[in-house]
Amino acid sequence: MTLPCGSTIHYGQKDVAPVRATLSDPRRLRQFVTDPEMALGDSYTEGSLTVENDDIGGLLALALKNMNGNGRRPHALRPEKLMSRLGQITSITRAKSNVAHHYDLSNDFYRLFLDKDMQYSCAYFEHAADTLEQAQLQKKRHIARKLRLEPGMSVLDIGCGWGGMAITLAQEFGARVTGVTLSEDQHRLACERVRAAGLEDRVKIVLRDYRQVDETFDRIVSVGMFEHVGIPQYGEYFAQVFDKLAPDGVALIHTIGRTGEPVPVSPWISKRIFPGGHVPSLSETVPHIEHSGLYACDIEILRLHYAETLRHWDLRVQAHRAEIEEMFGETFFRMWRFYLVACEMTFRHGRQAVFQFQLAKDQRAVPLTRDYLHAPEEERSADLRQAG
Query: What are the E-state strand segments in 259-362?
Result: 295-302, 352-360
Residues 252 and 147: their CA atoms lie apart, in Å, by: 7
The C-alpha atoms of residue 194 and residue 168 are separated, in whole angstroms, by 10
What DSSP line would sit under 162-228, residue for residue?
TSHHHHHHHHHH--EEEEEES-HHHHHHHHHHHHHTT-TTTEEEEE--GGG----EEEEEEES-GGG
Distance CA 250, CA 244 (A): 11
Closest CA to 241 of 208, 276, 217, 277: 217
Rounded to whole angstroms, how far apart are CA atoms 368 and 343?
35
Q: How far apart are CA 256 and CA 263, in angstroms?
A: 14
For the four alpha carbons of 362, 367, 373 and 376, in that order, the dihedral sign comes to: negative
Q: Residues near 19 by Cβ (< 8 Å), separated by ≥ 6?
A: 10, 11, 12, 51, 52, 55, 58, 59, 62
Candidates 122, 160, 191, 343; catalytic one: 343
- Distance separating alpha carbons of residues 330 and 324, to the nearest angstrom: 8
Asked if 122 and 306 touch (Cβ cutoff 8 Å), the reply is yes
User: Which residues have a Cβ under 8 Å from the Cβ of 251 and sit 6 or more positions away?
Assistant: 219, 220, 221, 222, 241, 245, 294, 357, 358, 359, 360
Residue 122 designated active-site: no
**239 burial class (0-12, 13-18, 19+ CB within 10 angstroms)?**
middle
**What distance in Å separates the CA atoms of residue 361 and residue 242, rounded to the nearest whole number?**
7
**Catalytic positions, please?**
343
